[in-house]
Amino acid sequence: MRIANEQISKMQTVLNGPNPKSHPAVVAAFGTNVNIFEIKSGVAKLQTETFFVDSADARPDVTQGATNDRDKHVLFGSSYFAGNDDKMRAGTVIHELAHTINKDVDHFKTDGSPYDFGAKPDTKNFLVGYSHMKDLKALRSDQMHKNTDSYCVFGEEDAKLARWALEEEDLDDQSSCVALTKRVPITLRIRLPQNR
Ligand SMILES: [Zn+2]
């Protein structure tokens, strides 16, 4: 949680700095035609609003994290507790925060427009925010403030940029957030009948 909070504070510093639209962490997470106003208000809410974690134990029916659409309660699963390091956990927390607090989504139509929060894609042709981020950024960067995982990537990219500035290393466009979601299947929703 501490790392997640630090990342959210750093996001705000970037967004309130000069020309946030062309900041490399913003471009990496949202693309080149972003709606800075929406991203700013989303990140501000991440910093101030509360979400609820019912249990400090891993839920057997959850892999990484899961959000209950209705009551802002978040559960974490075995991969979150056992398989992740602290930075990965921070990314999962930020991802679930974006779902619970801002009603951001994982699913997009093939034209890049987001599905409503809680809506299931009605076709097999849909794009997923954490798997098709590159395509979605190219298609509808102006809608990427609705993409849950962009906030996870924003936090991670910003931390990496700060680190790289110190180490004078080259940029790498693969964030560990995206690498994580590719490697570990994330349970998107709690698999309970009353949730859907
Ligand atoms: Zn999600």
Q: What is the DSSP string of 95-113?
A: HHHHHHHH--BSEE-TTSP
Higher per-residue pLDDT: 87 or 159: 87
pLDDT of 67: 79
Inter-residue contact 160 to 175 (CB < 8 Å): yes
User: How many angstroms does the Cα of residue 188 sit away from the middle of ligand 1?
Assistant: 5
Distance (angstroms) between ligand 1 centre and the Cα of 60 equals: 18
Residue 92 CA, ligand 1 centroid: distance in Å: 9
Mean pLDDT (whole number) for 76-82: 82
Identify how many contiguous H helices and E strands the chain contains and give both numbers: 8, 5
* Ligand 1 center from residue 99 Cα (angstroms): 7
Instruction: Check residues 4 and 162 and name the one with the higher pLDDT.
Output: 4
The mean pLDDT of the chain is 80
Residue 25: which of 41, 8, 47 has the closest Cα? 8
In this prediction, residues 1-14 reach a mean pLDDT of 89
Give me the percent of the chain exceeding a pLDDT of 70.
82
- In angstroms, what is the span from residue 52 Cα to ligand 1's centroid? 16
Burial state string for 136-173 with b = 16 or more CB within 10 A and e = fewer than 16: bbebbbbbbbbbbbbbbbbbbbbbbbeeeeeeeeeeee
176 or 30, higher pLDDT? 30
CB atoms within 10 A of CB 71: 12
pLDDT in the model for residue 57: 79
Q: Is the pLDDT of residue 182 over 60?
A: no
Q: pLDDT tens digits for 18-77?
A: 999 999 999 999 999 999 999 999 999 998 887 777 777 788 878 888 877 677 778 888
Angle, alpha carbons 98-10-157 (nearest 5°):
75
Answer yes or no: is pLDDT of 185 > 60: no
Ligand 1 centroid–CA 65 distance in Å is: 8
pLDDT reported for residue 157: 87
Pairing of strands 65-67, 127-128: unpaired
C-alpha span between 194 and 70 (Å, rounded): 10
